[in-house]
């Protein structure tokens, strides 16, 4: 039986929602994204005219854009599409799923000069049938771009955080869980708190690239930030976030069966041993661990690691991010762990067109198992993954309805129970005729 959700406009006039929570956002990137070229506006990427590009789209000499998909190329080799814009200076365009980017030849040259000795990194560069680089960089290689460009200056970080905040509130969200805080972002947030400019409640996770990064930098930062902010009513430092696998769109999510039409089962970005050590270390300091696990094999591996730790009497809070695919037996194995799943229904609306082409039928069955998780009493929270998807309560509802119509087991929850923060009750969002009228923190 499919029980459809109410649309927002079907809610009674002037409905008040309590503490509307987006459980997975990238706060800074949400504010920053609009300074990049919006690639969704172009039929082909080579249609972009440099004369129309704003100064804010540059970081140093690098030109940035966000939001392409595979249909926007008419050249066989992807970098040539960007070379038609220019080869004079480096271009980096980020894919819609933010798990890969494409470079023009100039940028690719700079990248290869800097990293060609790092074999593990170079493995993340896509090649075509002639073994030539296509300009597409996945996962770790894409993130490495940021070490080649100047850091954002503090004033810009603060400006983007405030822009992000305004966007969340405009969409009706008063409570966010940020997944990618850095040292610089945290310092800017501290200043914004002092300046009394923060109007939303945020939960903060610090992002780590690898185990060494955790040990030498981020662990201490997170511990100190948590201590310093205990009395701050606007923020709670939760812990540490890492990427264990990638995305379906970039075929880097770790699956138990190969992607259709290819041999790969995706990418595992951490060894299980290092991942286990990282979880242990984070938990031993009373912090939460949040792990990007999108493919079913990624979820299975992390759950297994945490069960091993539990047998060693080591416990803590495990947040699994995305969980777009999960085996039924893994759900059973989650019971008894302190685990929460953070899912993004809107990804259904973006991905539904090609999921059947990429996933073996057995895997397709495991997609978006929110109802199976609910039945197993595993807490599930919803969010947008902004800026990957727009922040929109209406779209989440649309995605739940549409997925149920298309064979995803329907979530048996009331509309009003979808978005509320689990413990904080200090936010109020007024909805009238399907529109957000006002969203604010109340005392």
CA angle 130, 132, 134 (to 5 degrees): 120
Closest approach of Cβ 98 to Zn ion, in Å? 7
Closest by alpha carbon to 282, among 217, 215, 333?
A: 215
For residues 81 and 97, which CB has a smaller minimum distance to Zn ion in the complex?
A: 97
Give the integer Cα–Cα distance in Å for 197 and 191. 9
Closest approach of Cβ 344 to Zn ion, in Å? 8
Give the integer Cα–Cα distance in Å for 418 and 384. 13
Residue list 14-53, contact with Zn ion (CB under 5 A): none
Piece of 61-69, 100-108, 144-152, 383-391 that binds Zn ion (CB under 5 A): 383-391
Closest approach of Cβ 129 to Zn ion, in Å? 32
Closest approach of Cβ 254 to Zn ion, in Å? 16
For residues 90 and 345, which CB has a smaller minimum distance to Zn ion in the complex?
A: 345
Give the integer Cα–Cα distance in Å for 32 and 159. 9
Give the integer Cα–Cα distance in Å for 437 and 149. 40
Which residue, judged by CB position, is nearest to Zn ion in the bound state? 385
Piece of 31-39, 219-227, 367-375, 381-389 that binds Zn ion (CB under 5 A): 381-389
Closest approach of Cβ 261 to Zn ion, in Å? 26
Six-digit token string for 156: 């810009």
Piece of 62-70, 167-175, 181-189, 379-387 that binds Zn ion (CB under 5 A): 379-387
Give the number of other Cβ atoms within 10 Å of residue 438's Cβ: 12
385 makes contact with Zn ion (CB under 5 A): yes
Closest approach of Cβ 443 to Zn ion, in Å? 31
Closest approach of Cβ 75 to Zn ion, in Å? 30
Let me know: does 204 contact 238? Beta carbons within 8 Å.
Answer: yes
Piece of 5-13, 117-125, 126-134, 385-393 that binds Zn ion (CB under 5 A): 385-393
For residues 289 and 441, which CB has a smaller minimum distance to Zn ion in the complex?
A: 289
Let me know: does 22 contact 385? Beta carbons within 8 Å.
Answer: no
Q: How far is CA 4 from CA 83, 323, 398, 400, in A?
A: 48, 23, 10, 8
For residues 110 and 275, which CB has a smaller minimum distance to Zn ion in the complex?
A: 275
For residues 18 and 171, which CB has a smaller minimum distance to Zn ion in the complex?
A: 171
Six-digit token string for 255: 């699956």
Contacts of 172 (CB under 8 A, 6+ apart): 17, 20, 393, 429, 431, 436, 439
Residue list 284-313, contact with Zn ion (CB under 5 A): none
Give the integer Cα–Cα distance in Å for 17 and 20. 7
Closest approach of Cβ 133 to Zn ion, in Å? 27
Concatenated DSSP letters of 61-73: TEEEEEEE-GGG-
For residues 106 and 347, which CB has a smaller minimum distance to Zn ion in the complex?
A: 347
Closest approach of Cβ 203 to Zn ion, in Å? 14
Piece of 164-172, 193-201, 378-386, 398-406 that binds Zn ion (CB under 5 A): 378-386
For residues 83 and 385, which CB has a smaller minimum distance to Zn ion in the complex?
A: 385
For residues 63 and 269, which CB has a smaller minimum distance to Zn ion in the complex?
A: 269
Piece of 102-110, 145-153, 357-365, 380-388 that binds Zn ion (CB under 5 A): 380-388
- Using the structure block, give the residue that is written with the tokens 């100190």: 224
Piece of 31-39, 115-123, 377-385, 432-440 that binds Zn ion (CB under 5 A): 377-385
For residues 22 and 385, which CB has a smaller minimum distance to Zn ion in the complex?
A: 385
Closest by alpha carbon to 369, among 328, 339, 336?
A: 328
Closest by alpha carbon to 296, among 275, 322, 269?
A: 322
Contacts of 230 (CB under 8 A, 6+ apart): none
Give the integer Cα–Cα distance in Å for 399 and 78. 31
Query: Cβ-count burial of 89 within 10 angstroms (0-12 exposed, 13-18 middle, 19+ buried)?
Result: middle
Closest approach of Cβ 292 to Zn ion, in Å? 7
For residues 78 and 322, which CB has a smaller minimum distance to Zn ion in the complex?
A: 322
Residue list 196-255, contact with Zn ion (CB under 5 A): none
Interacting residue ranges for Zn ion, rule: CB under 5 A: 385
């Amino acid at each position: 039986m499919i029980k459809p959700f109410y649309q927002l406009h079907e809610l009674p006039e002037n409905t008040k929602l309590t503490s509307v929570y987006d459980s997975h956002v990238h706060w800074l990137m949400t504010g920053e994204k609009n300074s990049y070229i919006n690639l969704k506006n172009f039929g082909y990427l080579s249609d972009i005219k440099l004369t129309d590009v704003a100064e804010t789209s540059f970081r140093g000499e690098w030109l940035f854009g966000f939001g392409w998909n595979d249909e926007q190329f008419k050249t066989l080799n992807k970098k040539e599409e960007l070379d038609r814009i220019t080869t004079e200076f480096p271009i980096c365009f980020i894919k819609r799923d933010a798990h890969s980017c494409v470079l023009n030849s100039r940028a690719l040259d700079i990248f290869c000069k800097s990293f060609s000795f790092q074999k593990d990194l170079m493995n993340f560069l896509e090649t075509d049938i002639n073994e030539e680089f296509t300009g597409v960089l996945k996962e770790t290689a894409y993130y490495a771009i940021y070490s080649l460009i100047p850091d954002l200056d503090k004033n810009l970080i603060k400006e983007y955080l405030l822009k992000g905040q305004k966007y969340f509130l405009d969409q009706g969200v008063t409570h966010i869980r940020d997944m990618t805080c850095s040292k610089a972002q945290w310092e800017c947030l501290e200043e914004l708190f002092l300046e009394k400019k923060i109007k939303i409640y945020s939960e903060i996770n610090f992002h780590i690239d690898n185990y060494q990064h955790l040990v030498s930098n981020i662990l201490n930062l997170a511990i100190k930030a948590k201590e310093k902010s205990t009395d701050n009513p606007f923020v709670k430092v939760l812990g540490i976030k890492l990427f264990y696998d990638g995305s379906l769109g970039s075929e880097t999510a770790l699956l138990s069966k190969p992607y259709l039409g290819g041999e790969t089962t995706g990418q595992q970005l951490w060894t299980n041993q290092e991942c286990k050590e990282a979880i242990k270390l984070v938990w031993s300091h009373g912090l939460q661990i949040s792990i990007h696990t999108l493919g079913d094999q990624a979820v299975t591996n992390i759950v297994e690691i945490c069960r091993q730790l539990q047998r060693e009497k080591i416990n803590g809070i495990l947040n699994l991010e995305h969980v777009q695919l999960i085996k039924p037996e893994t759900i059973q194995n989650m019971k008894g762990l302190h685990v929460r799943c953070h899912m993004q229904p809107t990804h259904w609306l973006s991905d539904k067109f090609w999921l059947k082409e990429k996933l073996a039928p057995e895997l397709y069955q495991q997609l978006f198992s929110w109802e199976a998780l609910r039945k197993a009493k595993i807490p599930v929270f919803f969010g947008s993954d902004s800026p990957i998807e727009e922040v929109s309560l209406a779209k989440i509802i649309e995605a739940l309805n549409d997925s149920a119509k298309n064979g995803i087991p329907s979530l048996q929850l009331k509309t009003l129970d979808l978005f509320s923060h689990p413990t904080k009750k200090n936010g109020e969002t007024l909805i009238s005729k399907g529109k957000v009228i006002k969203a604010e923190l109340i005392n």
